[in-house]
Amino acid sequence: MSPQSVIDLTGVTKSFGAVKALAGVDLVLRSGECLGLVGHNGAGKSTLMNVLAGTLAPDAGHLRIDDVELDRSYSVFRAHALGVRCVFQELSLCGNLTVAENTRLLHPRLRGWNWRKRAAALIGAMLDDIFPGHGIAVGAAVADLSIAQRQMVEIARAFTVTDESLRFVILDEPTSSLDAATAGQLLAFVRRQEARGVGVILISHMLHEILETADRVVIMRDGRVIASEAASAFDREGLVSAMGGLSHQQECSTKARSPARSSEIRVRAQPSAPGNRRELTARAGEIVGLGGLAAHGQTDLLLSVFRAAQRRSPTVSVSDSVALVAGDRQRDGIFPQWSITQNIGLRSLKAMRRGPLIDPGLEDRFAEDWRARIGIRSADLKDGILSLSGGNQQKALFARALGSDARIILMDDPMRGVDVATKREVYRLIRDEADKGRTFLWYTTEMEELYECDRVYVFRNGAITADLDQDQLTEERILHASF
């Protein structure tokens, strides 16, 4: 690979109706460099990456790769031929195809006799390289994989090579569904790729990942690049304040307080894994964390609680109404054909009824109120939910659950793609609601979020391996119980 390989974007603009997603962006990426791209939800990061990956045509501006000006015929195919790959935030695999077949979609060269076997070998080797011990069967249908496994396949597929070169890779929130250990494997791999001369754009709301991995950090705000500096010029606080996020006081004030424990038990649940000897309980006013490595039974437990609220279960008892913030936003959370307003109000239709019909005025006010409370960035709440950026869609799902009358809120790794400032607001909201008596069951892959909880159950292979009170909570204990 030529050491001078370079992507150069200048004056790129893109509007969606009245929304100016990109307002004249300049960006340079060199081979062998890892560029960290950060900014609030809706800043324009994904839109910019879609332009670079060939999935969106800009309204104006220039894209050059190695001094070759790319015109309006630039497309996904052209990007691929030039060695540009993208791992999209909203995963792009076909659920009805196997992991190997999905790999074939990216590589037309894998054809003829035995192509499935060759595709399986290609993706299998890449999964082994990036995520040793991944446990993913390459012959499995993608729809049967957990969201973390799908994210791993999507990432590994982007790095597979047949005849064309691999020069630049865009990773749009690649670790949002991965636990810390798996995210660490990926970031180590990214550094190895850099050393081989691949240029990487890493978008993440996990600022420590950016600071540990990127050489240079570019900050976007409201469709513009507002800073571009060596990563060494920032620490976490510097980065947060440059992003125009939250104040130091905001950062510090949301830590969990030990509540006076209520005697009212709302949830009792026994994981069904063989050998499990512990029971999970959650009381009124409690925030109960579910920790451990991804996909070790936490989501199954949340779903069993959700089902038990409707139907009696031998292993789970639930004494009040529940609402669920789904972890897999695309598959289980949003209604893609509906407006933002309809998506927010869905769990509260009873409260918005006038006679047999939904009162549109009440529905609008409900959505407006939550837009203001949780800062959903949208030109018009009547627009389709897919017009929101990923993080803002996630906020709409929060609004749906928190705005409902449910006394028990189940959250399945719910902060995927939510920016730092909004996360803090949501932590505060959760704590306030718990103080008013709501119960939260919160599965998270983020250590810092477990510290927001009053109590944490750690899961391994579907069983509970530790039950830690807030004052016993340390990273070491959680890791020890996770492995």
Ligand X SMILES: Nc1ncnc2c1ncn2[C@@H]1O[C@H](COP(=O)(O)OP(=O)(O)OP(=O)(O)O)[C@@H](O)[C@H]1O
- Pick between residue 46 and residue 276 the one whose CB is nearest to ligand X: 46
Give the nearest distance from C-beta 381 to ligand X in angstroms.
Answer: 12
d(CA 330, CA 444): 18
**Pairing mode, strands 168-172 and 84-87:** parallel
d(CA 255, CA 272): 32
- Helices (DSSP H) in 82-213: which residue ranges? 99-106, 115-130, 147-159, 180-195, 207-213
Selected binder of ligand X within 123, 388, 408, 434 (CB under 6 A): 388
47 binding ligand X? (CB under 6 A)? yes
Give the nearest distance from C-beta 419 to ligand X in angstroms.
Answer: 6
Give the nearest distance from C-beta 56 to ligand X in angstroms.
Answer: 8
Give the CA dihedral 100, 106, 112, 118, nearest 10 degrees: -40
- The residues, ordered by sequence, that sit 6+ positions from 223 with a Cβ below 8 Å of its Cβ are 20, 21, 22, 23, 24, 25, 43, 44
Give the nearest distance from C-beta 422 to ligand X in angstroms.
Answer: 9
Ranked by CB distance to ligand X, the top (closest) residue is 391
- The residues, ordered by sequence, that sit 6+ positions from 380 with a Cβ below 8 Å of its Cβ are 18
Give the nearest distance from C-beta 52 to ligand X in angstroms.
Answer: 12
The DSSP bridge partners found for residue 328 are none
Which among 40-48, 177-185, 187-195, 256-264 is the span making contact with ligand X, rule CB under 6 A?
A: 40-48
Q: Which of 282, 345, 366 is nearest to 317 (CA)?
A: 282
377 binding ligand X? (CB under 6 A)? yes
- Pick between residue 32 and residue 375 the one whose CB is nearest to ligand X: 375
Convert residues 266-305 into a mask of x (bound to ligand X by CB under 6 A) and - (unbound).
----------------------------------------
**Binders in 78-97 for ligand X, by CB under 6 A:** 89
182 binding ligand X? (CB under 6 A)? no
Which among 42-50, 98-106, 137-145, 286-294 is the span making contact with ligand X, rule CB under 6 A?
A: 42-50
Cα distances from 419 to residues 203, 204, 222, 422, in angstroms, run 11, 9, 14, 5
- Pick between residue 245 and residue 291 the one whose CB is nearest to ligand X: 245
Give the nearest distance from C-beta 121 to ligand X in angstroms.
Answer: 34
Selected binder of ligand X within 6, 12, 35, 39 (CB under 6 A): 39
Give the nearest distance from C-beta 410 to ligand X in angstroms.
Answer: 23
46 binding ligand X? (CB under 6 A)? yes
Give the nearest distance from C-beta 205 to ligand X in angstroms.
Answer: 7
43 binding ligand X? (CB under 6 A)? yes
Give the nearest distance from C-beta 326 to ligand X in angstroms.
Answer: 17
Q: Which of 268, 374, 386, 296 is nearest to 336 (CA)?
A: 386
- Going by the DSSP 8-state scheme, the letter that residue 231 receives in this structure is G
Convert residues 419-438 into a mask of x (bound to ligand X by CB under 6 A) and - (unbound).
x-------------------
- Pick between residue 292 and residue 390 the one whose CB is nearest to ligand X: 390
The DSSP bridge partners found for residue 221 are 224
Number of residues engaging ligand X in binding (CB under 6 A)? 21
The DSSP bridge partners found for residue 309 are none
387 binding ligand X? (CB under 6 A)? yes
- Pick between residue 419 and residue 449 the one whose CB is nearest to ligand X: 419
Give the nearest distance from C-beta 221 to ligand X in angstroms.
Answer: 9
Give the nearest distance from C-beta 129 to ligand X in angstroms.
Answer: 28
Cα distances from 332 to residues 194, 225, 303, 311, in angstroms, run 36, 34, 12, 20
CB-based contact 388:366 (threshold 8 Å):
no
User: Six-digit token pair at 17?
Assistant: 């109706």
Give the chain's length.
483
For residue 87, give the 3-state DSSP assignment: strand
Q: Which of 286, 326, 324 is nearest to 434 (CA)?
A: 286
Selected binder of ligand X within 54, 174, 391, 403 (CB under 6 A): 391
16 binding ligand X? (CB under 6 A)? yes
44 binding ligand X? (CB under 6 A)? yes
Beta sheet of 34-39, edge-to-edge order: 84-87, 168-172, 199-203, 34-39, 216-221, 224-230
Give the nearest distance from C-beta 354 to ligand X in angstroms.
Answer: 31
Q: E strand or H helix at 299, and its extent?
A: helix 298-308
Selected binder of ligand X within 417, 441, 458, 482 (CB under 6 A): 417
- The residues, ordered by sequence, that sit 6+ positions from 445 with a Cβ below 8 Å of its Cβ are 148, 177, 178, 179, 180, 294, 413
Give the CA dihedral 175, 176, 181, 185, nearest 10 degrees: -10
- Pick between residue 204 and residue 304 the one whose CB is nearest to ligand X: 204
19 binding ligand X? (CB under 6 A)? yes
389 binding ligand X? (CB under 6 A)? yes
- Pick between residue 16 and residue 77 the one whose CB is nearest to ligand X: 16
Question: Interface with ligand X by CB under 6 A: which residues?
Answer: 16, 19, 21, 39, 41-47, 89, 377, 387-392, 417, 419
